[in-house]
A and B are shown apart, each in its own frame.
Chain A
Amino acid sequence: MITAGCDIGSLTTKAVILNNTRVLAFAVAKSHYDPIVGVTEVMNKVLKSAGVEMKDIGFCVGTGYGRERIPFAQKAVSEISCHAKGAQWLMPSVRTIIDVGGQDCKAMHVDAKGNIEKFVTNDKCASGTGRFLEVMAKLIGVELEELGQLAEQARNPIQLSAVCTAWSQAEVVTKLNLKYSKADIAAGINNAMASRVAILAKAAGVEKDVCMTGGVAKNIGVLRAMEEQLGVPMRRLRVDPQIVGALGAAVIAKESIGGAK
């Protein structure tokens, strides 16, 4: 049985093709200003790399921004449910899932059956979302993807005192003017990011195992800082953390067919 899941995020759109227990293919692309055009492109791409056609897809679930309007999806499911489902499918022992997206952050606490017991989200304040890292990376003139590696060379990470992204920008400019190294600044940025995300995770309830999903989970600096702040290891998932929402959608698609589990 082949199913599909697509996840339209603020920055990237993701699609996964699942054949029962095997991920056949996945694709990640920059989001299009028209979410439907974007998701259709990503879907065509992932079908091609899986070597299947749209008619082979038994069921497709959509999630993310614009999920209600995906023409080839039979069902729309919230990102919260999809991330929880995807993470638990990959790692049944997971109880806390922290998803940091391009402009939001969600922390979910699930029980052993995968039911969501509690979730907390922030999409009002850029601080503690991927946008914070994006703004900061641009400010210090490095690629977003470099922030994690760069921080590995830090010797004396800077401390950011403000929570607000706008105030942190001013603080980072001051540190740049004072000739702090980019590595020390990057480490300070990652630590600040982690401390904001940790607050949300604690509000949802932190229970082992804990994992992070979404693009920010690729930043090793943030992961390490989160481990320090929460005092628990961040378990690494066996797939790209960015596709967990789409994967969860594909798993829900599989479950949606005739109640088969």
Chain B
Amino acid sequence: MYVAGCDVGSLSAKAVIMKDGEIVASQVINSKPDPNESAQAVMEKALQKANLTLDDIAYCVSTGYGRESVPFAKSAYSEIVCHGKGANWKMPSVRMVVDIGGQDAKAIRIDDKGNIAQYAYNDRCASGTGRFIEVMASAMDVPLEKMGEISAQSTNPISISNQCVVFAETEIVSLINAGKALPDIVAGLHKALANRVAGLARGIKLETDVTMTGGVAKNPGMLAALEEALGVRFVKSELDPQIMGALGAALLAFEHASKVN
């Protein structure tokens, strides 16, 4: 029996197809303006990879901010539930999941079955979400995916004094004009975001093991900064951390499908 999970985020859409507890295909694409289109496009690509059609999927669960716009999903779950499920399935020792998304950040404490014990969430203030790094990368004219690489060359990270995205943007423009080294600025930005997100995690009591999910987890600079801010080493798996939400959705789809049959 094939099941699928589809995670439509603000910046990227993800799909995971599973068969009998194994991942058979996964896909990540950049989001399109219309979440419905994003969902169709990412699922089509994942199905192609698995050599399947939509008819082969017994059950699909959607998640992410566009979860209500996924036409082929039979039910929708919050990202918080899905990230917890996905992380627990792949890394059973994990008790805390930190997810930095394009427009939000979450810290989720889970039990040994992947159920949510407590969570904290920020989507009110862009600072403390992936948008912070995105805005700064664009202000510095650096591709977002290069930020990690650049920060690795830093010898002396600059402390960024403004928290607000708008004020921090002005601050880094002045830092660049003052001739400060780009790697030091980038490393400083990672540190600033890490501290914001660490505050969120501490608010619900930090518990080990911790893992980081979401696209921002692919940025090694951000990962290291967050490890430092939390004082822990993250548990990692060979899976793309960006598909964790879609994976959790697929696992929930399996639970639903099993009940139905």
Contacts and interface: CB of A to CB of B under 8 A. Distances in A.
Interface of A: 103, 124-126, 131-132, 135, 162-167
B126 interface: yes
Nearest to A103: B167
Nearest to B134: A166
Contacts of B131: 166
Contacts of B164: 124-126, 165
A163 B165 contact: no
B36 interface: no
B166 interface: yes
A141 to B, nearest CB: 18
A164 B167 contact: no
Interface residues of B, number: 12
Contacts of A164: 124-126, 165
A98 to B, nearest CB: 20
B135 interface: yes
A165 B164 CA distance: 9
Contacts of B40: none
Interface string B118-144: 000000111100010001000000000
A244 B85 CA distance: 58
Contacts, number: 33
A135 B166 CA distance: 9
B219 interface: no
Contacts of A162: 124
Contacts of A166: 126-127, 131, 135, 165-166
B230 to A, nearest CB: 23
A193 to B, nearest CB: 14
Contact of A131 (B125, B163, B167): B167
A132 B127 CA distance: 15
A165 B127 CA distance: 10
B70 to A, nearest CB: 21
A162 B125 CA distance: 9
9 contacts: A126-B165, A126-B167, A132-B166, A162-B124, A164-B165, A165-B165, A166-B165, A167-B103, A167-B126
A126 B126 contact: no
Nearest to A122: B164
A166 B136 CA distance: 12
Given A103-B167, A125-B164, A163 B124 contact: yes
Contacts of B165: 126, 164-166
